[in-house]
Structure 1
Amino acid sequence: YLKFYDYSEFSVHNPIGKGGFGLVYKANWKDYGLAIALKQLNIIPTDKNTIHRFVKELKNIQKVCNKHPNIIEFYGVTRG
């Protein structure tokens, strides 16, 4: 499953990168004192089929990221 985090748990700083799907920001996870990257997507899925495909893709990414030592960890999603 995908873990959802409240956006207020993070202090978001400057953009550090840009890709085809959106911007990546440097951020701090307040409760854990972790420096993290938050990706802001520039797409907004609206229909149920698109949302289903999007969530399925995130779950697949999560499986790969959390099992490989050379790929950053995927913690979950938030809405800002």
Structure 2
Amino acid sequence: MTAKWVIDTSRNGNGSNGEWCNPAGRKIGMTAQVGGGGGTEMLLWVKIPGDSDGNCGIAPNTYAGQFDPAIAIRLINGT
């Protein structure tokens, strides 16, 4: 059996900088789709772009799971 996986592209448009909690410089990635090449079954936005990871990174005053328009705008602009 060949391994299969899904990729969360909700904020991987600029790759990773090694941080996971509201990191700066992220960008919205590809929209959800079936397939994606290799063993990728689907590309998904697992997390709503703009939802905070917690009180950290670019959103130190935004609770986990709370939508913050400033985070969403940064993901659109890649800042």
What is the TM-score when the length of structure 2 is the normalising length?
0.22
Which of the two has greater strand per residue?
1
If the length of structure 1 is used for normalisation, what is the TM-score? 0.22
